[in-house]
Amino acid sequence: MKVAIGCDHGGYNLKMSVIEYLKKIDVEVIDFGTDNDKDSVDYPEFAKEVCKRVVDKDVDFGILVCGTGIGMSIAANKIDGIRCAVLSDTFSARMTKMHNDANVISLGERVLGKGLAIDIVKAYMSVEFEGGRHQNRIEKVMELEHK
């Protein structure tokens, strides 16, 4: 499995914790930055880089981290082909993959602790998209990008 990950300065520390976890379970991680929590950076640039890899199918999914997860998810969802969910609990993490086929998840460092964030990533990775009745709904959502 291969994952693209990116953050702004507000998500740097949580991003590093998630990377540490993913590497521990032998997931290949491509880190698109940022490289510290000191320098203020613009989160849309990092969302764009991660989402490009997801759309191009270079990775299995993407993870974005900022202070709340909200800004990153808004930026990500502007990109054709991306379905990004801001997550703050494990139930939503499973459901967004099973029913919404989310291909990017967004986490907030100032909202989540390290343990919960890793549990959310585990929950998301533990399930598959169910397809079936959900596929038609996903197609309708994706049509909204083109109108």
Q: In the annotation, is 134 catalytic?
A: no
Of 7, 9, 51, 66, which one is the catalytic site residue? 66
Which of 103, 89, 97, 83 is closest to 131 using CA atoms?
97
d(CA 124, CA 142): 21
103 CB-near residues (< 8 Å, 6+ apart): 54, 61, 62, 81, 82, 83, 84
Residues 6+ apart with CB under 8 A from 56: none
Radius of gyration of the chain (CA): 14
Question: 3-state DSSP call for residue 114?
Answer: helix
Name the residue with tokens 């969302």. 47
Tokens of 145: 């990008």
- Please give the positions annotated as active site: 66, 99
